[in-house]
Amino acid sequence: MTNLQEDSSTEQVDRKAAARFVPGQPDMWVFVLFESLLFTGYFSVYLIGRIQNRDLYLQSQADLDLRFGVFNTIVLLLSSWAIARCVQASREGAYRDALRDAFLTIGFGVAFLVSKVLEWVKEIRLGNTFTSNEFFQHFFFLTSIHLLHLLIGFIVLGVAVYQLWSPARRSQQLVETCATYWHTVDFLWALIFALLYVVR
Protein backbone atom coordinates (compact mmCIF):
# COMPACT_ATOMS: atom_id res chain seq x y z
CA MET A 1 0.00 0.00 0.00
CA THR A 2 2.70 2.52 0.83
CA ASN A 3 4.17 2.45 -2.65
CA LEU A 4 1.04 3.84 -4.29
CA GLN A 5 1.36 7.53 -5.06
CA GLU A 6 0.27 9.95 -2.41
CA ASP A 7 0.78 13.13 -4.46
CA SER A 8 -1.04 16.16 -3.20
CA SER A 9 -3.76 16.63 -5.75
CA THR A 10 -3.14 20.37 -5.92
CA GLU A 11 -0.12 19.50 -8.01
CA GLN A 12 -2.50 17.57 -10.21
CA VAL A 13 -4.20 20.81 -11.20
CA ASP A 14 -1.00 21.96 -12.84
CA ARG A 15 -0.20 18.78 -14.65
CA LYS A 16 -3.70 17.96 -15.88
CA ALA A 17 -4.45 14.35 -16.74
CA ALA A 18 -0.80 13.53 -17.33
CA ALA A 19 -0.13 12.80 -13.67
CA ARG A 20 -1.84 9.92 -11.94
CA PHE A 21 -2.88 10.02 -8.33
CA VAL A 22 -4.67 7.79 -5.91
CA PRO A 23 -7.85 9.56 -4.78
CA GLY A 24 -7.63 9.91 -1.03
CA GLN A 25 -5.65 7.65 1.24
CA PRO A 26 -4.78 4.32 -0.37
CA ASP A 27 -5.84 2.87 2.98
CA MET A 28 -9.45 3.75 2.35
CA TRP A 29 -9.28 1.81 -0.93
CA VAL A 30 -8.33 -1.29 1.06
CA PHE A 31 -11.54 -0.78 3.00
CA VAL A 32 -13.59 -0.20 -0.16
CA LEU A 33 -12.36 -3.37 -1.83
CA PHE A 34 -12.67 -5.50 1.29
CA GLU A 35 -16.16 -4.26 2.10
CA SER A 36 -17.28 -4.87 -1.48
CA LEU A 37 -16.15 -8.46 -1.18
CA LEU A 38 -17.95 -8.83 2.10
CA PHE A 39 -21.19 -7.52 0.64
CA THR A 40 -20.71 -9.73 -2.40
CA GLY A 41 -20.64 -12.63 0.05
CA TYR A 42 -23.93 -11.48 1.57
CA PHE A 43 -25.43 -11.03 -1.90
CA SER A 44 -24.34 -14.50 -2.99
CA VAL A 45 -25.97 -16.04 0.07
CA TYR A 46 -29.14 -14.11 -0.77
CA LEU A 47 -29.15 -15.23 -4.40
CA ILE A 48 -28.62 -18.87 -3.51
CA GLY A 49 -31.40 -18.63 -0.95
CA ARG A 50 -33.60 -17.02 -3.55
CA ILE A 51 -33.15 -19.81 -6.04
CA GLN A 52 -34.09 -22.46 -3.50
CA ASN A 53 -37.33 -20.70 -2.80
CA ARG A 54 -38.31 -18.74 -5.87
CA ASP A 55 -42.02 -18.55 -5.24
CA LEU A 56 -41.71 -17.34 -1.69
CA TYR A 57 -39.23 -14.65 -2.69
CA LEU A 58 -41.30 -13.51 -5.67
CA GLN A 59 -44.42 -13.32 -3.60
CA SER A 60 -42.71 -11.36 -0.82
CA GLN A 61 -40.97 -9.11 -3.28
CA ALA A 62 -44.36 -8.03 -4.57
CA ASP A 63 -44.83 -6.19 -1.27
CA LEU A 64 -41.89 -3.96 -2.05
CA ASP A 65 -42.54 -0.61 -3.64
CA LEU A 66 -40.25 -0.07 -6.61
CA ARG A 67 -40.81 3.67 -6.35
CA PHE A 68 -39.06 3.78 -2.98
CA GLY A 69 -36.16 1.85 -4.44
CA VAL A 70 -35.81 4.10 -7.47
CA PHE A 71 -36.14 7.26 -5.38
CA ASN A 72 -33.49 6.04 -2.95
CA THR A 73 -31.12 5.14 -5.75
CA ILE A 74 -31.50 8.48 -7.50
CA VAL A 75 -31.09 10.38 -4.24
CA LEU A 76 -27.92 8.53 -3.40
CA LEU A 77 -26.59 9.10 -6.93
CA LEU A 78 -27.27 12.80 -6.40
CA SER A 79 -25.34 12.67 -3.15
CA SER A 80 -22.39 11.01 -4.89
CA TRP A 81 -22.52 13.65 -7.57
CA ALA A 82 -22.49 16.35 -4.89
CA ILE A 83 -19.48 14.97 -3.05
CA ALA A 84 -17.61 14.47 -6.34
CA ARG A 85 -18.22 18.14 -7.13
CA CYS A 86 -17.07 18.98 -3.63
CA VAL A 87 -13.75 17.23 -4.21
CA GLN A 88 -13.25 19.10 -7.50
CA ALA A 89 -14.09 22.43 -5.93
CA SER A 90 -11.81 21.83 -3.00
CA ARG A 91 -9.00 20.85 -5.35
CA GLU A 92 -9.29 24.21 -7.07
CA GLY A 93 -9.42 26.09 -3.81
CA ALA A 94 -13.11 27.01 -4.15
CA TYR A 95 -13.80 26.15 -0.54
CA ARG A 96 -17.14 27.87 -0.20
CA ASP A 97 -18.46 25.88 -3.13
CA ALA A 98 -16.91 22.75 -1.70
CA LEU A 99 -18.61 23.30 1.64
CA ARG A 100 -21.91 23.91 -0.07
CA ASP A 101 -21.54 20.66 -2.00
CA ALA A 102 -20.60 18.79 1.17
CA PHE A 103 -23.74 20.04 2.89
CA LEU A 104 -25.77 19.06 -0.18
CA THR A 105 -24.35 15.57 0.11
CA ILE A 106 -25.42 15.38 3.73
CA GLY A 107 -28.85 16.68 2.75
CA PHE A 108 -29.32 13.97 0.15
CA GLY A 109 -28.10 11.42 2.66
CA VAL A 110 -30.74 12.58 5.12
CA ALA A 111 -33.37 12.30 2.40
CA PHE A 112 -32.31 8.70 1.85
CA LEU A 113 -32.48 8.03 5.59
CA VAL A 114 -35.98 9.47 5.94
CA SER A 115 -37.21 7.62 2.87
CA LYS A 116 -35.73 4.36 4.15
CA VAL A 117 -37.42 4.69 7.52
CA LEU A 118 -40.74 5.48 5.86
CA GLU A 119 -40.36 2.44 3.68
CA TRP A 120 -39.62 0.21 6.64
CA VAL A 121 -42.66 1.53 8.48
CA LYS A 122 -44.74 0.78 5.43
CA GLU A 123 -43.45 -2.78 5.19
CA ILE A 124 -43.96 -3.38 8.89
CA ARG A 125 -47.53 -2.11 8.60
CA LEU A 126 -48.05 -4.66 5.85
CA GLY A 127 -46.93 -7.29 8.33
CA ASN A 128 -43.47 -7.82 6.91
CA THR A 129 -40.78 -7.81 9.55
CA PHE A 130 -37.25 -9.17 9.90
CA THR A 131 -38.59 -12.49 11.07
CA SER A 132 -41.49 -12.82 8.64
CA ASN A 133 -39.81 -14.98 6.07
CA GLU A 134 -36.49 -15.58 4.35
CA PHE A 135 -36.89 -12.81 1.81
CA PHE A 136 -37.62 -10.22 4.44
CA GLN A 137 -34.73 -11.48 6.56
CA HIS A 138 -32.46 -10.57 3.69
CA PHE A 139 -34.32 -7.37 2.91
CA PHE A 140 -34.11 -5.97 6.41
CA PHE A 141 -30.60 -7.25 6.93
CA LEU A 142 -29.16 -5.75 3.76
CA THR A 143 -30.99 -2.46 4.10
CA SER A 144 -30.04 -2.18 7.79
CA ILE A 145 -26.41 -2.88 7.34
CA HIS A 146 -26.35 -0.49 4.43
CA LEU A 147 -28.06 2.15 6.54
CA LEU A 148 -25.44 1.62 9.22
CA HIS A 149 -22.80 2.40 6.60
CA LEU A 150 -24.76 5.50 5.69
CA LEU A 151 -24.88 6.65 9.29
CA ILE A 152 -21.14 6.15 9.58
CA GLY A 153 -21.01 8.11 6.32
CA PHE A 154 -22.52 11.10 8.11
CA ILE A 155 -19.62 11.01 10.56
CA VAL A 156 -17.21 10.75 7.63
CA LEU A 157 -18.88 13.70 5.87
CA GLY A 158 -18.64 15.55 9.15
CA VAL A 159 -14.89 15.03 9.03
CA ALA A 160 -14.86 16.41 5.48
CA VAL A 161 -16.85 19.48 6.49
CA TYR A 162 -14.57 20.00 9.48
CA GLN A 163 -11.55 19.90 7.17
CA LEU A 164 -13.04 22.28 4.61
CA TRP A 165 -14.24 24.76 7.21
CA SER A 166 -10.99 26.31 8.36
CA PRO A 167 -7.96 27.34 6.29
CA ALA A 168 -5.78 25.79 9.01
CA ARG A 169 -6.89 22.32 7.88
CA ARG A 170 -8.26 21.60 4.40
CA SER A 171 -6.34 18.41 3.73
CA GLN A 172 -7.25 17.51 0.17
CA GLN A 173 -6.31 13.91 0.78
CA LEU A 174 -8.65 13.63 3.73
CA VAL A 175 -11.54 15.19 1.80
CA GLU A 176 -10.93 12.73 -1.04
CA THR A 177 -10.77 9.87 1.46
CA CYS A 178 -14.16 10.86 2.87
CA ALA A 179 -15.57 11.10 -0.64
CA THR A 180 -14.27 7.63 -1.48
CA TYR A 181 -16.12 6.24 1.53
CA TRP A 182 -19.33 7.97 0.56
CA HIS A 183 -19.20 6.69 -3.02
CA THR A 184 -18.89 3.19 -1.61
CA VAL A 185 -22.15 3.66 0.25
CA ASP A 186 -23.66 4.71 -3.06
CA PHE A 187 -22.46 1.83 -5.20
CA LEU A 188 -23.31 -0.73 -2.54
CA TRP A 189 -26.86 0.59 -2.65
CA ALA A 190 -26.88 0.30 -6.46
CA LEU A 191 -26.20 -3.41 -6.03
CA ILE A 192 -28.66 -3.86 -3.17
CA PHE A 193 -31.42 -2.12 -5.13
CA ALA A 194 -30.86 -4.35 -8.15
CA LEU A 195 -30.84 -7.51 -6.05
CA LEU A 196 -33.75 -6.82 -3.73
CA TYR A 197 -36.13 -4.89 -5.97
CA VAL A 198 -35.38 -5.74 -9.57
CA VAL A 199 -34.03 -9.26 -9.75
CA ARG A 200 -36.74 -11.80 -10.53
Does the protein bind another protein through residue 129 (CB under 8 A)?
Answer: no
Minimum Å distance from CB 153 to another protein? Answer: 12
User: Which residue lies nearer to another protein by CB, 51 or 168?
Assistant: 51
Q: What mask, x for binding another protein by CB under 8 A, covers residues 141 to 170?
A: x---x--xx--x------------------
Does the protein bind another protein through residue 115 (CB under 8 A)?
Answer: no
The secondary structure of the chain, three-state, reads CCCCCCCCHHHHHHHHHHCCCCCCCHHHHHHHHHHHHHHHHHHHHHHHHHHHCHHHHHHHHCCCCHHHHHHHHHHHHHHHHHHHHHHHHHHCCCHHHHHHHHHHHHHHHHHHHHHHHHHHHHHHHCCCCCCCCHHHHHHHHHHHHHHHHHHHHHHHHHHHHHHHHCCCCCCHHHHHHHHHHHHHHHHHHHHHHHHHHHCC
Minimum Å distance from CB 118 to another protein? Answer: 19
Minimum Å distance from CB 199 to another protein? Answer: 5
Which position among 28, 102, 164, 178 is part of the footprint of another protein (CB under 8 A)? 28
User: Which residue lies nearer to another protein by CB, 120 or 197?
Assistant: 197
